[in-house]
Structure 1
Amino acid sequence: MSEAEPTSRVLSVAELNRLARLAVERALPVAWIGGEISNLTRAPSGHWYFTLKDNQAAVRCAMFRNRNQFVDWRPENGMQVEVRAQATLYEARGEFQLSVEAMRRAGLGALFEEFLRIKNKLDKEGLFDPGRKRPLPERPAVVGVVTSPRAAALHDVLTTLRSRWPLARVVLYPTLVQGSTAAAQIAAAIATAGTRAECEVLLLVRGGGGIEDLWSFNDEAVARAIAGCPVPVVSGIGHETDFTIADFAADLRAPTPTAAAQAATPDRAEWQRRVDHLGRTLNTDMQRRLHGLAQRLDGVARRLRHPAAGLAAQSRQVAQLAHRLNLARGATLARKHQALDRLAVRLAAARPDLGHGRSRVATLRQRLGFALRTGLDRNAATADALAGRLGSLNPRAVLERGYGIVRAGDGSILRDPAAVAPGDALQITLARGDLAAVAAEAKRRHPA
């Protein structure tokens, strides 16, 4: 609250706590604070709540999930830690607390500062200059390894070397890789490898661990031993995210021991493919050269040989040509015979079967005769029936039964007596002749 505001104003608790929080955050900037963890609680939300204490005081701390997810180790009660935190006030309860942004084990800050000091010092001396880096041998016959005989990294390196480049002989320079005397032993092992000069490349390897576990490789003596070694050095220390002073001093830094073995040796399968390809290319070139030389030799020989040898060669050539001609003629005749055989088979397949044709003609002839006879009989019966019906309709047949046809004088057939008058001349046709008559009387029959 500023002095210009009236003193009679009454603040709410929320306003008071907010002003107090702002005052604390302005007065106390973000800082590193060391102490012991107690009352650690991991909430279901992912946030961490704990108390940071020393012999004289304690303070509540909160580390939210978006911050604690970057801590790559598991804090527990009783651990000595250093936290980077902002002093603040939890307004809801008016509690003073620290909002933690980062956490590390106690002492790591000093180690990191020492790391930077050594790195800067050696960098100024030029030990890390890229111009000092030496190329690795393409196909080393002897590979040296500086590590502990009991380290898992040694097993990984040996397995990789056996699979990639079994031609290389491996020389182990044993040393401790962790502990108070490890740095001196590592530097001595590198110096021994350089003095003995029995290997073409030197691998400095160790498995993963924390900064304190890898600290021996941050020693200045180790870096100077690497820089002074006449043999190219490949470092493979820890994991991909781990960096040591030895990595900067080495001629090549690999992320893991296995990767260091891979970087120092060629791939046997790839080299085998290359050798096979070169062998095929060399064989092709040699064959081509030999053929060319043979042709040149033949040309010289033709110019230098005796006439009798020429005649003999020509005789042999004629004999060869005659033999080839006979073979070609025989092959041609064989092909012609085969073609004739195929044509004969096709002709035999296409030629009609006369016996079968004759049998079929005889059968058809019988069937035709039977059909003709049957048709004629059927037509004769039809004709007889029609003749009977026609005969019954013939006027002469009617006349034979005693009937007659009466015609008028003009020859027209009379059907009605009213068509004539008494005294008209008539002509009556009978079955066997005609009669002349005169109409005496006309009588018309009435229908019954």
Structure 2
Amino acid sequence: MGNDSPGRSPENPFPVRGVAIRVAGWIDKLGAVWVEGQIAQLTLRPNSNTAFITLRDPAADMSLSLTCPRDLVTDAPVKMTDGTQVIVYGKPSFYTGRGTFSLRVSEIRAVGIGELLARIERLRRLLDAEGLFDPRLKRPIPFLPGTIGLITGRASAAEHDIVAVASGRWPAVRFAVRNTVVQGPNAVPQIVEALRALDSNPDVDVIVLARGGGSVEDLLPFSDETLCREIARCTTPVVSAIGHEPDNPLCDLVADLRAATPTDAAKRIVPDTAAEQALVADLRRRSARALRNWVNREQHVVSQLRSRPVLARPLEAIEARSGEIDRARTAARRDIKRLVAAESDRIGHLSARLTTLGPAATLARGYAVVQSVPPSGPARVLRSVADAPAGARLRVRVSDGAVTAISEGVDEAY
């Protein structure tokens, strides 16, 4: 049953008009909408009361076809030109005769400067909250880039200034130039594409995004969210040189380095040959002077050390002490001799006293030592008459020898 419905089988196809009418009916049900975008192309045909507009999304490669009464464009309070940011109110329509889709516009409002600035400020706060402006994420700019990627308008003053100044400062520097439109609805897609191409090139050391000054509307692409996020995703350092000193698009805050002007960008990323040579010469002079001063200081220290008596006359201290040692040795010998003599005298006196008090001297004066000699056992000194009864054998020692005797008993005369 379903296969017999029109358009459900090759045997029962829709005619072109059937599809066109149905599509027109579906689109007609969408109702009127407000749409914002940039005018990419505005066509006012002579003798025609209809204006044809191509409205482009600045953040994506998408566009819509618009039709509106001619008076809506010519009588607008702001001049409608390519690149103008507008808000339109219209109803989607499908023209069955040509099979095309367009938006029938009944009201056009230009986005004022105040609203643009407010939107940029809201986007700035959003990107800041996400950390895209964090200084810790900034990539360092190489001291001497071999190849500089340059994104700028074709034959622009910004390109001429950067190439001329950079080449004058360092003639060996090379450029990889990508020319894009730098304002209008096509600027963001072209700049993002060039940025990705240069970031993927391993020979490019730094990328410069450059444009001369302009109005707030002219610089809108450089405050676009898509471009800002693409800059943040780059692995190659990005330098923003947009407009003049007062201009401050959002890409300045996301980039790794913000230059006031394109000329300032060239000066900040390429060192000056003459200045670097002068710096090297000055550093060589300073290092040579520092080395000479160090050598002079060390020579002075060595001279001071050599002039000290311990090094200049190392034997003087020994010679001065040798006399003291000789005197000390003489005094020590004298004291030792005196001590030995005194002790010798004392020992002689003690020896004489011992000799006088000894048994030999006593015997020499006529005394004798009498010992009782038992038949067995050792002799004992006779201390009492009871120890020498009659018949006891005695041994009498005198100064020149000893004699033996026999006791006759106690002498009663005593």
TM-score normalised by L of structure 2: 0.42
Would you tell me which structure has more helix in proportion to its own residues? 1
TM-score normalised by L of structure 1: 0.39
1 or 2 for the larger relative contact order (CA 8 Å, sep ≥6)? 2
